[in-house]
Amino acid sequence: MADKEGQSLKERLVESEEKLRSVFNSSPNAITVTDLEGKITDCNQATLDLHGYASKKELIGKSAFDLIVKKDHERALMNLKRTLGEGSVKGIEYAFVKKDGSEFPAELSAGVVRDAQGSPAFFMAITMDISRRKQAEKERKDSEERLKIIFEEAPDAYFLIDLHGEFVDCNKAAERLTGYAKKEIIGRSFSELRLLPPEQIPVAFEGMVEAFEHKITGLDQYTLRRKDRTEAVVEIKAQAVNIKDKTLMLGIVRDITARNRVERELALKNQLVESSASAVAISDPKGNLAYVNDAFLKFWGYGSVGEVVGRSAVDFWEDKRKSATVMAAVQQAGSWEGKLVARKKDGSSLEAHVSARVVSTKEGRPVGITASFMDEGLWKILTALPTAEF
């Protein structure tokens, strides 16, 4: 009976050992067994594949340190002693080396296996290639660095605001726009800094609520008050963003003070041109009309802009050869002033005083030609009047 029980126990042990051996050999993780001095006594196929060896014979008897780059040997020896003392270590990163000398990053976990008496018998280590993880981490870090540069160097002012309405970050443009240093902004709200006039604060809060509801707010205009209490007209666009599992509001603020001033000036100039008694026309650099005012239409007797725009300015004169010569002179010299005979829509003629000049960019590239026209008789009367003295 005892012999049968002993045989049964032996069979179970053999069966258990065979199962462990099957798991060892088929494991997708690289498993290496070493003696207490670190010499390799066994390994599985995944270890051979990981390090580029063809058979166990090439590894068994070698030091496990041969699989680690030399610069990590001292640290690996310290961790070997630590494993012996503590029983196990987990997730230690080393630079490992393949048979061909190429290096790769991997994570090692190791434990002490003890004999029946509880004494340390050997080490068993599992190595995991973390090249892909490292590459992903690098790409994420590079992406974060690029975003940080974009955030910091953006021409518009960027603000990050938490759910309590306090600033958690801002960029250089925000410092320039507000006149406050970043350390003066972080931890405070726009109402605390008095960045907006009191009557605009409720509207701003409504915009924040919309942004935190994951809506993108429109380009709302506000009057921003700087630290020195000067004011600027700004456009603010806001939206909710998730940064490290935290919901924040990104506010993008653009100073449009200068743009508004230019727009007002342009509107005033357009109004003056439209209401001018002088006929005014604007063409492209080749002389094709792009704009005329009402006085131009009346001067030539046309009823609508559509009858005029797109045509060559040369077409509106009695002597087309002379008008073509004048156009060439304007294009070459940059300006021209003199008398031409206009041919009106009904075929009648009228002497006109013409003043034309080329409009160019700062770099000197011509972008168009502006011209004004007046009845030659009226021009002579106006130029004959005495100059007023003040």
In CATH terms, is domain 277-384 a member of 3.30.450.20? Answer: yes
Burial class (CB in 10 A: 0-12, 13-18, 19+), 292: buried
DSSP characters over 194-238: T-S-GGGHHHHHHHHHHHHTT-----EEEEEE-TTS-EEEEEEEE
Helix (H) or strand (E) holding 8: helix 2-26
Rounded Cα gap, residues 118 and 243, in angstroms: 50
CATH number assigned to the domain covering 144-259? 3.30.450.20
Helix (H) or strand (E) holding 160: strand 157-161
Higher pLDDT, 262 or 306: 306
Over residues 354-390, the pLDDT tens digits come to: 989 998 988 889 999 998 888 876 666 655 655 544 3
Position of tokens 């492209």? 284
Give the Cβ contact number of residue 96 at 10 Å. Answer: 21
Residue 168: predicted pLDDT: 93
Length of the chain: 390
pLDDT band, residue 26 (cuts 50/70/90): confident
Rounded Cα gap, residues 61 and 43, in angstroms: 11
Mean pLDDT comparison of 41-50, 234-243, 361-370, highest-scoring range: 41-50
- C-alpha separations of 287 from 66, 284, 327, 349, 360 in Å: 81, 5, 7, 21, 14
Residue 388: predicted pLDDT: 46
pLDDT band, residue 13 (cuts 50/70/90): low
Rounded Cα gap, residues 90 and 315, in angstroms: 88
Q: Where in the chain is the domain with CATH 3.30.450.20?
A: 21-129, 144-259, 277-384
Residue 9: predicted pLDDT: 58
Residue 272: predicted pLDDT: 60
DSSP, collapsed to helix, strand or coil, labels residue 124 as: strand
In contact, 65 and 80? CB cutoff 8 Å: no
Over residues 274-319, the pLDDT tens digits come to: 666 688 889 999 999 998 888 899 988 999 989 999 999 999 999 9
How is residue 187 annotated by DSSP? T
Residue 11: predicted pLDDT: 66
* pLDDT reading at 189 higher than 70: yes
CATH for 21-129, options being 3.40.50.920, 3.90.550.10, 3.30.450.20, 3.90.25.10: 3.30.450.20
Over residues 123-155, the pLDDT tens digits come to: 999 999 999 999 999 998 888 888 888 889 999
What percent of the chain has a predicted confidence (pLDDT) above 70? 88
